[in-house]
């Protein structure tokens, strides 16, 4: 006995046996992983035979780094330190790697999250909010550590004033664990690293990516985490960092465009092919063929929450880059997704899809 969704899926397949899973997902308003599960069930039941129903899928995007509970406290009035402040509180699934992974999953990519979690209610909450979009089967689990937790205090305008992070569990993501994931690297089409992972583990990931010729993007997470960037030359395709992180790693203070060019060039000399340096609400710069390019930030209609905007920028940029190999078009997509995320109360906006993002870019 087929379900209503299975009947609807079969009708679409009959009309176009060569439709991609993402096209089917958008027509049925389901996630691509949900479509894959439905097709798998129909194949096992013998209702579908052969593989004419789907185009060849791209190689998965593999994201290494943090997944944690995001607890957000929004102050109702002006924030006053060293005393009690009335707040509105809520929690979401977060973590830079997890946020990027969910964005990419919603954009139609096959995504594997490589992170660590405890056997606790926090992980169950994260899994419930994430697994529809992301393959979490390769995450390391520990009964000795708690799942990561991040607590942010936001002012009444949505700007972060203080953040606290308990990320001890990520020390379990060591070089030995990385080297045990050979099958994952062998199949990957792109690897993304957030620097919640220790320096030796990051070096091991880069080694495996070089071995299997997999493109790499690095996301520093915060200035203190820049210490996890390996010393010496780093062979990677992308780095996304903010002004403070760039100044820290290059030793160059931004006061002029010449300083910006020098900082980008220092990152290029370290081995990064594409360098993006963000400067908050002003915009961001990138260096292409020796020329500095500046893109103004788009003005959101209303900032509801800044959390997740940077992660959405990275995800949409890499999504469009994989699609077009056009750096400017990729960064326009990243800028748009970041702006729409700022306008949303969610860390990853639930309406996001490849079609939705393209429509927003064309408006």
Closest CA to 317 of 263, 245, 260, 239: 239
- Both tokens of 176, joined, read 């030995």
The answer to whether residue 154 scores a pLDDT higher than 70 is: yes
Q: 1 pLDDT band (50/70/90 cuts)? A: low
- Residue 166 pairs in a beta bridge with 149
| pLDDT at res. 55 | 40
Do the beta carbons of residue 254 and residue 263 sit within 8 Å?
yes
- If you average pLDDT over each of 24-38, 190-204, 298-312, which comes out highest? 190-204
Q: What domains sit in the chain, N to C, each tagged with a CATH number?
A: 4-44 (1.10.10), 61-231+298-362 (3.40.1190.20)
The answer to whether residue 54 scores a pLDDT higher than 60 is: no
What is the mean predicted confidence (pLDDT) over 115-141?
96
- If you average pLDDT over each of 3-17, 51-65, 163-177, which comes out highest? 163-177
Task: Give the C-alpha separation, 347 to 343, whole Å.
Answer: 10
User: Among 52-56, 248-252, 318-322, 344-348, whose mean pLDDT is lowest?
Assistant: 52-56
- Both tokens of 264, joined, read 């980008």
Higher pLDDT, 240 or 221: 240
Beta strands across the sheet bearing 68-75: 87-94, 68-75, 148-154, 160-166
Task: Give the C-alpha separation, 347 to 185, whole Å.
Answer: 28
Residue whose structure tokens are 């990064």:
272
pLDDT tens, residue by residue, 62-95: 999 999 998 989 999 999 999 999 999 988 999 9
| pLDDT at res. 58 | 61
| pLDDT at res. 18 | 63
User: Strand 87-94 to strand 68-75: parallel, antiparallel, or no bridges (unpaired)?
Assistant: antiparallel
Task: Give the C-alpha separation, 290 to 321, whole Å.
Answer: 19
Helix intervals (H) in 116-252: 121-130, 175-179, 182-187, 199-211, 243-250
- Both tokens of 25, joined, read 């997902």
What is the mean predicted confidence (pLDDT) over 308-322?
96
Angle at 249 between CA 246 and CA 252, to 5 degrees: 65
The answer to whether residue 298 scores a pLDDT higher than 80 is: yes
Do the beta carbons of residue 188 and residue 216 sit within 8 Å?
no
What is the mean predicted confidence (pLDDT) over 154-176?
90
What percentage of the chain carries pLDDT values higher than 90? 68
């Amino acid at each position: 006995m087929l379900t209503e969704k299975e009947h609807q899926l079969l009708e679409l397949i009959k009309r176009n046996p060569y439709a991609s899973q993402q096209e089917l997902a958008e027509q049925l308003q389901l996630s691509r992983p949900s479509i894959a599960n439905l097709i798998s069930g129909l194949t096992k039941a013998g209702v579908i035979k052969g593989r004419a129903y789907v185009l060849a899928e791209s190689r998965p995007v593999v994201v290494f780094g943090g997944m944690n509970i995001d607890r957000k406290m929004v102050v109702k009035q002006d924030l006053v330190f060293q005393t009690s402040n009335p707040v509105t509180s809520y929690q979401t699934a977060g973590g830079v790697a997890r946020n990027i992974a969910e964005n990419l999953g919603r954009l139609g990519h096959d995504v594997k999250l490589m992170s660590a979690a405890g056997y606790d209610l926090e992980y169950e909450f994260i899994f419930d909010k994430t697994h529809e979009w992301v393959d979490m089967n390769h995450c390391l689990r520990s009964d000795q550590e708690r799942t990561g937790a991040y607590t942010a205090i936001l002012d009444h305008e949505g700007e972060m004033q203080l953040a606290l992070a308990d990320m001890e569990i990520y020390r379990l993501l060591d070089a030995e664990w990385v080297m045990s994931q050979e099958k994952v690297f062998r199949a990957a089409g792109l690897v993304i690293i957030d620097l919640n992972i220790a320096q030796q583990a990051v070096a091991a990931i880069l080694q495996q990516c070089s071995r299997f010729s997999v493109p790499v993007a690095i996301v520093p997470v915060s200035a203190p985490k820049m210490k996890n960037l390996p010393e010496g030359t780093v062979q990677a395709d992308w780095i996304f960092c903010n002004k403070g992180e760039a100044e820290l790693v290059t030793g160059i203070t931004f006061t002029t465009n010449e300083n910006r060019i020098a900082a980008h060039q220092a990152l290029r000399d370290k081995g990064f092919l594409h360098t993006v340096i963000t400067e908050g609400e002003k915009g961001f710069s990138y260096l292409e063929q020796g020329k500095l390019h500046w893109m103004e930030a788009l003005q959101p209609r209303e900032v509801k929450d800044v959390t997740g905007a940077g992660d959405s920028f990275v995800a949409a940029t890499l999504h469009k880059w994989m699609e077009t190999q056009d750096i400017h078009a990729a960064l326009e997509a990243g800028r748009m997704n970041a702006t729409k995320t700022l306008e949303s109360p969610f860390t990853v906006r639930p309406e996001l899809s490849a079609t939705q993002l393209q429509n927003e870019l064309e408006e």
